[in-house]
Chains A and B, each alone.
Chain A
Amino acid sequence: MARVAPRTGDAIFANVERVNAELFTLTYGAVVRQLLTDLEEVEEVNKQLDQMGYNIGIRLIDEFLAKSNVSRCNDFRETTDVIAKVGFKMFLGVTASVTNWDADGTCCSIVLEDNPLVDFVELPDNCQGLYYCNILSGVIRGALDMVSMKTEVTWLRDVLRGDDVFELQVKLLKHVPEEYPYKDDE
C-alpha cells in the first residue's frame, strides 16, 4: 500500500478548521507578554516557550499524521522537506524552504520568509535576547521526538533581530530505534 506523500499542504490547509490570523497573532503575543511579566528573565521566557512548544509538538504530530496522509519518511531529508512544505502550510498557512545541508545529511536550515506570529511585533530594547518565536523550535523538536528522532532546533536568523528571514537550524542528534527492549536487564 504505497501512498503518495503530498508535496504541499495546500489541500489540507483548505480542509482544516482555521481561526482568524490576527486573533492567533495577538493571542500568541499576549502569551509571550504574560510570560515576560511572570518570569522577568528573557532567558527563562525562551526556555518556557521552548517547553510549551515541545508540549504542543508531542500532540500536534498525531494530528499532522492523521490528516496529512504522510507515510513513513525514508530519511531525514525527506522529513525536513515534509515539515517545511506540508507541516508549516497546514498549521501556519505559510511555506518554508530547506537549505544549508551539511555533508552527512543530519543538519539543515528551515527558512521562513513569512511568519504570521510576528505580524505586529517589534522587540523593545530590554528584550533583545528574546527569541520571540521560540515556541516553533519546541514544536518541531517535540513532534520529531514522537517519531523517534532526537533533534536540536535553534534559531540562526530572526527578522525581529534585524535579519532578512527567519532561519531555524534543525540538527538530528540520534535516531532512536523503534524496537522494544527485549533485554532482561533493561
Chain B
Amino acid sequence: MAAIYSLYIINKSGGLIYYKDYGSAGRMDTNDSLRVASLWHSMHAISQQLSPVSGCLGIELLQADTFDLHCFQSLTGTKFFVVCEPGAQHMENLLKFVYELYTDYVLKNPFYEMEMPIRCELFDINLTQAVQKDRVAFLGR
C-alpha cells in the first residue's frame, strides 16, 4: 500500500466527510486533514474561476516534488481525492471506483445522513480492499 498516502472525500459545501491514511508517509492529524480539505475545496473553486478556458471543471491533478494529488468531482459536487506517490498510476480509475463504493455502501445505508461524516463499516472494508496495490493495478487494466 505504499503508493497511496491518504484519501479524502469532501461534500459539496467543502466539509471533510471522510479521511483515511495509508502507511506512515504523509500522515496528518485531524486538524491538518480538515485544513487540507477546506483548502482544496477553495482552491478547486478558485481554479474554476481563474481558468482561461471556459467550462473548466477545476483542478484534476496537482504534482509536487514529494506527492501527487488526484481529484475527481462528481456532477453532484462531492469531491474525492487521493494523495499518492509521485507518478502513481491509475488513480483516476481508483477514484471512480471509490465513487461507486460510496454510492453502494454509503448512500444506500439508510442510517447515513447526507453531507455528514461517513461512518460505514462496509464502506471501510470495501475501500481497504480497493486500495490494496494489486487491486489498483487490476483497475488499470
Residues of chain A at the chain B interface (Cβ within 8 Å): 58-63, 65-67, 72, 146-147, 178, 180
Contact = CB atoms under 8 A, between A and B. Distances in A.
Contact of B108 (A59, A61, A65, A180): A59
A65 B75 contact: yes
Contacts of A58: 114
Interface in B74-90: 74-78
The 4 A-B residue pairs with the shortest CB-CB distance in the complex, in nearest-first order: A63-B103, A59-B107, A66-B100, A66-B99
Query: Which one of B76, B103, B107 has the highest number of Cβ atoms from chain A below 10 Å of its Cβ?
Result: B76
Contact of B103 (A66, A146, A147, A178): A66
A66 B114 contact: no
Q: How large is the interface on B (under 10, 10 to 19, 20 to 34, 35 or more residues)?
A: 10 to 19
B104 interface: yes
Contacts of A147: 75-76
Interface of B: 45, 74-78, 96, 99-100, 102-104, 107-108, 114
A159 B91 CA distance: 48
A180 B41 CA distance: 11
Contacts of A180: 45
19 contacts: A59-B103, A59-B114, A61-B76, A62-B74, A62-B76, A62-B99, A62-B103, A63-B100, A63-B103, A63-B104, A65-B75, A66-B99, A66-B100, A66-B102, A72-B75, A146-B76, A147-B75, A147-B76, A180-B45
